[in-house]
Structure 1
């Protein structure tokens, strides 16, 4: 097969950042995605309806003319989030709340330190028909960074899922066989997003032969057995798994530093790279479900009606992209050849 047409996909997990960077990140996503779930971990974080509405306006101002792209907003849960905050967010059109354990990833210092105190908030999310999006890692420093996803499942996620059976939960950017197995066997109303980097790479790609900071993300890349488990679940076509790039831009100097930032900026090539993965798996017939159908169905939103076409055509990702600030940013898979291309 040298060409594939699918219903226009959505990105169910990404970071636009803010300010001038929106002029780069929003058009890059809108080029192929109809909607995107926008992460709220700005500085300061988007913790309530008012901040979410303001952020949505800034994003909408950066959407290219003629594009029908729609940002879907989230709020950031903290230890002080109230039931009233959730109800106000629902009334403002916010679709989900994001839970970061405090200190788990970039700009998560204001995250949750005590999950038990948030169960009334989780109940209200379920009652209001909003989703709980989870960065599923514990943050105890004595636990090995490669084990923190599994520990989060055992310590917290099983309890949340079982205690509130009507709550829809998305286990974001899963990275391990443990997470894939958990989601596959979980009750209805539990799903997961998977990034291009976790399907394409493992920890050797970050550490072997030298440290490669542009492959550093959180949750961190795992060993190849976990990568293969993720590839198997997307190949299965299960509706519990769908596209979420976790595209997370940082200026080049912030990645290439003595304490480099976590995140892969994949918006420039995400749909092409997912297509490449599904082609490698001999599963192109499963791409549309993963990219365009399962996420919309899980969120209870209408499927998109227009389409995109990808063609088998080799091209090379740029080594860097210039931000509006004049700073360069290195995209995920920079300088490497991609075998599929979005048809203009």
Structure 2
């Protein structure tokens, strides 16, 4: 299949297994853009202020999201914190919560309450394994001597492997992989360990990030070699790898280059499906991928089928249609919040829902 030669493409609705939908006005503005990206299932991150550590808190948040967009399935998570106990995990399972997200302390947005010592949560992990809840790992080590944004993910991999060895039946997702070593580590683990890959990391390298606050996220994009490994994983049709955009909106002011430190996050939600297709097409043009690698089976697997199977979500009956009409990435966020989408002004596909 050659994307460049296509004028029209029909796919099952995309499932996005890593999104940040924020709270208050920002949440109100962002949630209506989910289906604009061709997505009807999302896995929601819990790093609000305060973080979601209680089951009731999580269910209240879900109810708000469903009221804003009833045509989207919201899978919910708790924030790994000392308040989370084995009893919390049992309650979460009974309440339909899907997993628990782990943030290393201080590495990204709203992660100040994150994990310092993973061993203190072994009882929680054991109960998660018993209850079949998913552990979502932000795979970076906190900043310390010898650790930078470029090696923080690779330095975290022994922690992933040790948790997997201790709890081999625990379903674990290494979120937003950015490096070749991370891809290889996930491949070497058993079938209970998988990984998400973002849309923007299929585009970016560290050179793109330097000087562009709107391309800055955590973990940061790495080298050309790492991006190639991520692209190859995305088109491998290996069920261990599927889409989790890590779409993370911030008001324009929080991404300003005038700030001492811009907020970490890239906003792709309104163009989730489009961005993946554009990235794969560009990779074919530059020779990083071969055109014959991008098949319908590959697209359907990466954009939804693999993730749905891992999470136990039924395959989509809804379809999306993408056409080439010369559409450009625009500002699709309505309301008083000003959020800049990734690749603003660049040409992309036009997307509609099949009726």
- Global fold match (TM > 0.5): yes
In 2, the alpha carbon distance for the partners of 1:238 and 1:206 equals 28
Question: Are 1:99 and 2:108 counterparts?
Answer: no
Matches within 5 A, 1:26-105: 26-31=31-36, 32-63=38-69, 67-105=70-108
Alignment-derived partner of residue 265 in structure 1: 267
In structure 1, the gaps of 5 or more residues are none
Alpha carbons of structure 1 residues 105 and 59: separation in structure 2 relative to 1, 3 Å: same
In 2, the alpha carbon distance for the partners of 1:312 and 1:298 equals 32
Local SS of the residue matching 1:315: coil
Report the Cα offset of residue 88 of structure 1.
1.0
Q: Deviations over 1:285-321 (max 9, x none)?
A: 2111101200010112211122111123322112x45
Question: Are 1:342 and 2:351 counterparts?
Answer: yes
TM norm structure 2? 0.91
Alignment-derived partner of residue 188 in structure 2: 185
In 2, the alpha carbon distance for the partners of 1:315 and 1:147 equals 37
In 2, the alpha carbon distance for the partners of 1:313 and 1:159 equals 49
Residue pair 2:33, 2:269 contacting (<8 A) in 1 also = yes
Matches within 5 A, 1:169-318: 169-207=172-210, 211-256=211-256, 257-279=259-281, 280=284, 281=289, 282=291, 283-285=294-296, 286-318=298-330
Question: Are 1:22 and 2:24 counterparts?
Answer: no
Local SS of the residue matching 2:270: coil
Question: Are 1:10 and 2:10 counterparts?
Answer: no
Residue pair 1:28, 1:268 contacting (<8 A) in 2 also = yes
Report the Cα offset of residue 162 of structure 1.
1.0
Q: Deviations over 1:15-34 (max 9, x none)?
A: 00011222221111133211
Report the Cα offset of residue 9 of structure 1.
1.4
In 2, the alpha carbon distance for the partners of 1:259 and 1:201 equals 20
Structure 1 residue ranges, 4+ long, deviating more than 6 angstroms after superposition: none
Local SS of the residue matching 2:97: coil
In 2, the alpha carbon distance for the partners of 1:191 and 1:221 equals 19
Q: Across the two proteins, how many residue pairs are aligned to each other?
A: 334
In 2, the alpha carbon distance for the partners of 1:141 and 1:323 equals 40
Local SS of the residue matching 2:326: strand
Residue pair 2:270, 2:332 contacting (<8 A) in 1 also = no
Alpha carbons of structure 1 residues 183 and 80: separation in structure 2 relative to 1, 3 Å: same
Q: Deviations over 1:226-285 (max 9, x none)?
A: 011101111211111001010000000011022110001101111011112233342042
Residue pair 1:321, 1:328 contacting (<8 A) in 2 also = no
In 1, the alpha carbon distance for the partners of 2:198 and 2:333 equals 24
Question: Are 1:159 and 2:162 counterparts?
Answer: yes
In 1, the alpha carbon distance for the partners of 2:319 and 2:250 equals 30
In 2, the alpha carbon distance for the partners of 1:314 and 1:177 equals 34
Residue pair 1:296, 1:303 contacting (<8 A) in 2 also = yes
Matches within 5 A, 1:129-144: 129-142=132-145, 143-144=147-148
Local SS of the residue matching 2:324: strand
Identify the range of structure 1 (52-61 vs 40-49) with the bigger mean alpha-carbon deviation: 52-61
| CA RMSD across the alignment | 1.4
Give the alignment partner of residue 330 of structure 1, picking from 340, 343, 348. Answer: 340
In structure 2, the gaps of 5 or more residues are 1-5
Local SS of the residue matching 1:137: coil
